[in-house]
Amino acid sequence: MAVGKISIYPDRVRGLIDPKVYGHFIEHLWTCIYDGIWVGLDSEISNIQGIRRDVVEALRRIEPPIIRWPGGYFAELYNWVDGVGPRESRPVRVCPTQPNGVETNQFGTDEFIRLCRLVGAEPNICVNTSIITPREAGFWVEYCNRRDTDYAKLRVRNGNPEPYNVKYWSIGNECYFMYPPVDYATRYLNWRHFMRNADPTIECIACGIEPIYHPKPWALGDWGEEVVKMIQSEMEYYSVHVYFSSGSEDKFSDEEYYHLFAALENRLTSSINRVIGILDYYTQGKNVKIALDEWGVWHPGHDMKGNMTQKCTLRDALFTACFFNILHRYPSKIGMANVAQTVNVCHSLIITDGGRMFLTPTYHVFDLYRGFKGSQSLEIKIESETFKDPLHRYTERKIPHLSASAAKSGNGLIVSLVNLNLDEEIDCEVELRGSEVIGGVRRILTSRDVRDVNSFETPNRIMPKEEEVKIRGEKFTEKLPPHTLTILELKTRPTPS
């Protein structure tokens, strides 16, 4: 049996955790939209104005704060005017991201906003920078947010009299694959000018790049730093995409398991710190937030040429929990994160096939972390046995077997504890400095094997289990089984003097 300790300091607040770090991403890719979300009004599958009822109900439960759409790569292929107006009149276009090679445009701006309203999420629209003009991008903002222009009147004619008031607009997707930094920065500033002319209250997300992982494209040093140097404070968010992989989806070795978590800790923290340094240096005192608006585990063998639906194991769920625990260290700097993707693609929460649907273990992590939204991230100290990256691809840095975070919420605390050890239970001492526990709830997510999955046949194989916390006092010991996420929602009070 291993031992560990987490010390929590309720009076040392790092900052408020932005609810948008638990955001979502949906794209016209594989079956994410068509089958996964949109089935049409005439479908035999139960739906709400064409949107799958089961998916809506599942998303409502986890209260998604924001949803990014329409891409992704698809965003750079998309002309928004194709997706508005009577659906029977919308054009069908050639589309390499769809399984059948065509985009029907049945799910467009109005349908996306409807989905967001149904599940209580803010919309985040990613604007094309390659086949539409900056003026046409401004028209899209008019369509969504104005009352008094021709495009606003088009929205009204399409049956939507009230403005959508879309606040968050991404300008381009992974533009480092298309433009040198000076070209993208010039485009970004032009697009921003026309879009903010249409609505000066919108917040723009500039396309960035992960500085540690990616090579130096265009032989011009770091692509992202060059962009930030040019646009400086003319952005509200800076986008970084982070994907991880280690072995196959459900047949990975123990070494590949540990490598994934070593990569997450080493690479993600290094990248975040580097981006913070770039933004602080160039943005003239403006607190530009980081938007990790695509993130997840992307397993080998799943690409746009084939099946994008992965088996999502308990390992993926534990990765999700550790990812959130890292973000909780940077509450004043990270303003958004969008898992890729919500339905049927890569790091999914929901899998559908025709009328069938099940929830992956990752879905349950999002559910378990709801209490962290808008809470005060607290300083903690972790003491734990460690491991090194067994594949030695990053550093010799030692990684704790225990991942944790804590936050103050209402009259209590919420604590996340992840035991990454595949074989040993951790006896984890939890110490509250200046407060004591007077009760609460414990929720545990685990399974017999870290390679286990939910499926259509066994949809409830991996489910959270809940029990009452009967402990009292400033210190207590949690027994953390191997490869387990434990969430503690604790009622507390100040320690008597």
pTM for this predicted structure: 0.97
pLDDT at 497 over 90: no
List active site positions: 174, 294
DSSP state of 120: T
More confident residue, 14 or 223: 14
The predicted structure's pLDDT at residue 218: 45
- The pLDDT confidence band at residue 221, using thresholds 50, 70 and 90, is low
pLDDT at 10 over 90: yes
Rg (CA), the chain: 23
What is the number of residues in the chain?
A: 497
Distance CA(239)–CA(423), nearest Å, equals: 37
Identify the structural domains of the chain with CATH numbers, from first to last. 2-10+376-494 (2.60.40.1180), 18-372 (3.20.20.80)
Give the type of residue at 491. K
- 3-class SS at 158? coil
Q: What's the mean pLDDT when you consider all of the chain?
A: 96
Strands 102-103 and 93-94: antiparallel
The predicted structure's pLDDT at residue 215: 53
- 3-class SS at 144? helix
